[in-house]
Amino acid sequence: MPDKSVPAGAAGTTQSNSKTGKAVAAASIGNALEWYDFSVFAFFASYIGHSFFVAGDEVSALISTFLVFAVGFIARPIGALYLGSYGDRVGRKAALTLTIGIMALGTLIIAIAPPVWMIGVGAPILLLAGRLLQGFSAGGEIGGATAFLVESAPVEKRASYAAWLQASMGISNILAAFMGMMITSFFDDATISQWAWRLPFVVGLLIVPLGYYIRRTLDETPEFEAQQKQTRPADKKPLLDIVRRYPRHMILGILFSILWTVCVYVLVIYMPTYYASPVIGLGFTRNQAFTASLVGNIFMVIGCVFAGRMADRMGAYKVLRAGCVILMFISWPLLTWLHHSPTVTNLIIVQILNCFAVALFAGVAPSALAQLFPIQVRSTGMAVSYNVAAIFFAGFTPALMTWATTIDVMAPSYYMFIASVIGLLATVGMSRLKR
């Protein structure tokens, strides 16, 4: 769907293929680091709980860890407000460089924080501080990275290029799941709980120098530079403009982002914990759950690229509506089948189908949400609308599902159905909205 907010002639100012490729790499590698850290935290939640909380029953420790995971999302709207506005005022490049630095600091704190038996209450406080920094950074990443990709791509390929943003999340999940497989293969549970769970966070820090260098050497997007020339510095008030001029866009963006966050955090982030949970009773090991997650995320990457190309050919909203319907109905029969026949082969098939279903919606979501807002408020609008939804429907989802599955093991499928209905209504509303 072409962006009608682009000034006449702006399409001709898109970057060359080489610069566009660099833009994709810059946005993707930074975004991958952001989500790698989130995925690793969720995947190793049970081990982190042993290090940072006083010993108790496993479910209580896991819920406590997921609550810290969720608290990090409280910082996301603050990061969205600051970093989104920063990106709309100062530039996409500046915002992208800042976010990767903040994320690296948060990851470092988590990687080196002493355990509870060494410093007592200071341990969970440090864990919380690291998560807050990660959340603040992630709050601005989605808006800045998507705005940069959409504005760097040829108009007719915007969905294809923006799909790499969500695909990079799949790549980060593959790396996180691979680390989970390696750690659980080479270390026993006691060693992982003591210190080996920190290794994946250390590996994440190794990505930082390359990502920071690439982002520092980027050129600003032509569309943003053209907009800058038309706007006086005193008139750059993206937060105020969003509230005054685009309230319907914000509401629809938030509702749309509910499904975006729920499908990712239920079917991709939380499910490896679900599969290996003794409460659920499927009988899978953590290593088997990590393996299924790794294979599933390969298909998520493929699905995101496929969905982006289909959106450029058929129209974004056709693909999005199809994705909503599939997500609405796929989870319950897959979980029912897995509980009836809990084999490793079936586990991998279920996670492949889950991840591909997520990709059909989430692969197109970044470009659709970005093009809901005009250039001058795009980074702010995306960041705020996505992260308001993320507070409640991403951050607290793993903790909510951990609790809900103690009542009904099919709880994830019910949650997915409700979120999909909301997402479908929002998608229809966005397709009818004219800026």
pLDDT at 61: 66
Mean pLDDT of the 87-100 span = 80
Band of residue 212 on the pLDDT scale cut at 50, 70, 90: confident
Band of residue 45 on the pLDDT scale cut at 50, 70, 90: confident
**Domains of the chain, with CATH numbers?**
13-432 (1.20.1250.20)
Say which range, 130-134, 139-143, 357-361, 372-376, has the weakest mean pLDDT: 139-143
Band of residue 214 on the pLDDT scale cut at 50, 70, 90: confident
pLDDT one-digit tens code per residue, 413-435: 999 999 999 999 999 999 988 54
Band of residue 312 on the pLDDT scale cut at 50, 70, 90: very high
- Higher-confidence position of 166 and 358: 358
Band of residue 232 on the pLDDT scale cut at 50, 70, 90: low
- Mean pLDDT in the chain? 82
pLDDT at 55: 60
Residue 204 pLDDT > 70: yes
Give the percent of the chain with pLDDT over 70.
Answer: 88
pLDDT at 392: 81
395, 69 Cβ separation under 8 angstroms: yes
- Higher-confidence position of 341 and 119: 341
Band of residue 188 on the pLDDT scale cut at 50, 70, 90: confident
Residue 83 pLDDT > 90: no
Band of residue 109 on the pLDDT scale cut at 50, 70, 90: very high
Residue 246 pLDDT > 90: no
